Amino acid sequence: MYEIDPARLDLVQEFRDNPDGPHSLELTLVVNRLRVMPMADRHILICTQREREWTLAKMPSKRGAKVELFKDRVFNSYDDAVREVFKLRWETVTGERLT
């Protein structure tokens, strides 16, 4: 599995600048790695108002259990919401908190 170098903050900045892509090969590897993390650690977005509002959530550790919805973490910008999920997954995988 691809190992993310937490010192590669240039890739973090590339994602922040353009979360929808296209991404460089190295950033694509990072994004793909962040997509295959264990379900119990995976933050996701739930569209709570079509094309207007997204709420941060976390997948359950067991299949069929309820998703944990963070009602205090609501975004009106899809790109901002995606950046937040990237940041949380980065921290989970690398152990390094992004600011």
- pLDDT 10s digits, 21-42: 999 999 999 999 999 988 888 9
- Whole-structure pTM value: 0.94
Q: How far apart are CA 74 and CA 51, in angstroms?
A: 13
Tens digit of each residue's pLDDT, the chain (99 residues)? 899 999 999 999 999 999 999 999 999 999 999 999 888 889 999 999 999 999 999 999 888 999 999 999 999 999 999 999 999 999 999 999 998
Q: Which helix (H) or strand (E) holds 71?
A: strand 68-75
Please report, for residues 11, 29, 53, 93, 94, the alpha-carbon distance to residue 73 in angstroms, rounded to integers and kept in the order given. 25, 27, 10, 21, 22
